[in-house]
Structure 1
Amino acid sequence: MTMDYDANTTTTTSGSSELNLNHLKTPEGVLKILEAVFGLLCWTLVASVPVAVLMPPYQFVLFVSITSWILTLGFIGVFLKSLNATMCSSLPWAAIEFLNCALWSFFYFVAACVSASFVGNHERLKAATAFAFFTTTCYVIHSLLCFKNWRGAYPWAKDTGGAVSA
């Protein structure tokens, strides 16, 4: 059995192979990096304690930290490759990013509280709890910045209808 190939076939690629490193210099980019680093530290510290992996509360902490870490890495990849502006430009990225950050702010806060209530005398679990609260803080700040990008103002800002009050 032989296969014949057409010698006139050409291959073209679309898109850019350049990275948008300027995104990492923005406050949102810095927060994404901090979320990824703190999240990685959180789940690796929990996973390094064999007893904790078998405890249901820490299984929840691992679920939250690993899932959010993977999604954060995905968002970093999307924004580094500028896929939000090229291939997926019709999606409401500001709203998507806000909902993602708000969701993980809530889940990380719950996971950090659960971790704090079951920490015991394990030093690594104490460190994991601290990093869970650091990650929660990053997600809360990031969700506020995303809300401002999405709606044009912070949630507590009053709409004065363009009038300047003295």
Structure 2
Amino acid sequence: MAEVGFPGQHTTTTTVTSSTTVQTNLRFDPEYVKTIPGILKVVQVGSSLLGFICIMCSRFSYIGKAVYFSWISMIAFWFTGILLGFYLFHMVEKFYKIPWLKIEFVFCALWTLLYLLAAILATTVHDNPHSAAAFFGFVATAAYAVDAFLKWRAVRGGGLAQGSRVVSKQTTSVESPPPRIGY
């Protein structure tokens, strides 16, 4: 006799298919700067450059706080500027096997913290160029924070930096009717 409440047969089959579509040819795509990640990169590059220029125009550009801000802003300017170029010419899509989203997430998260510290330090120097640099530092901090959040969501969702990935999941379940208990 079969045990009451225990199904005789239960089979679940889950099929996951993933299709990655990328174009590996290099091409210029000016439409990228109209997307949210493109706008964020333009804001990051622009605020980094403007903050650096403000610090360099200060008569206190030689102090440690200014040197730190300059260092942070120039690394951000070059790293993000090069990435912007990669995205504009679809180099990221060409080399889609590189974990671009993870690299960008780590950089954006780290630079959010470093820029926040640099901007706070710039506010402690009491002259107008440092105040302007602090403003651009806080703008860059916000842009990197939003970008880090978007990259984190994309990494968690299994997205690609450029190109498209379609993941479909199909689940089928088969159950046998419960056993009849009777005489």
Instruction: Decide: shared fold, TM above 0.5.
Output: yes
Q: Trace 1:40-59 onto structure 2 (pairs within 5 A).
A: 40-49=49-58, 51-59=59-67
Is 1:130–2:135 an aligned residue pair? yes
Aligned to 1:108: 115
- Structure 1's consecutive aligned runs of 4 or more residues displaced over 3 angstroms after TM superposition are none
- What do residues 73-98 of structure 1 show as CA deviations (whole Å, max 9, x unaligned)? 01101111111111x22101111111
Give the number of the structure whose alpha-carbon radius of gyration is greater: 2
As a proportion of its length, which structure holds more helix?
1
Q: Percent identity, aligned pairs only? A: 24
- The total of aligned residue pairs comes to 135
- Give the CA RMSD over aligned residues: 1.6
Gaps in structure 1 of 5+ consecutive residues: 1-13, 154-166
Letter paired with 2:45 = A
Letter paired with 2:156 = R
Question: TM-score, normalized by length of structure 2?
Answer: 0.70
For CA contacts below 8 A with separation 6 or more, give which structure has more relative contact order: 2
As a proportion of its length, which structure holds more strand?
2
Question: TM-score, normalized by length of structure 1?
Answer: 0.77
Aligned to 1:54, the other structure's residue is in SS state coil
Q: Trace 1:11-160 onto structure 2 (pairs within 5 A).
A: 15-16=25-26, 18-49=27-58, 51-86=59-94, 88-117=95-124, 119-120=125-126, 122-152=127-157
Gaps in structure 2 of 5+ consecutive residues: 1-23, 159-183
- Between the aligned partners of 2:103 and 2:33, the Cα distance in structure 1 is 19
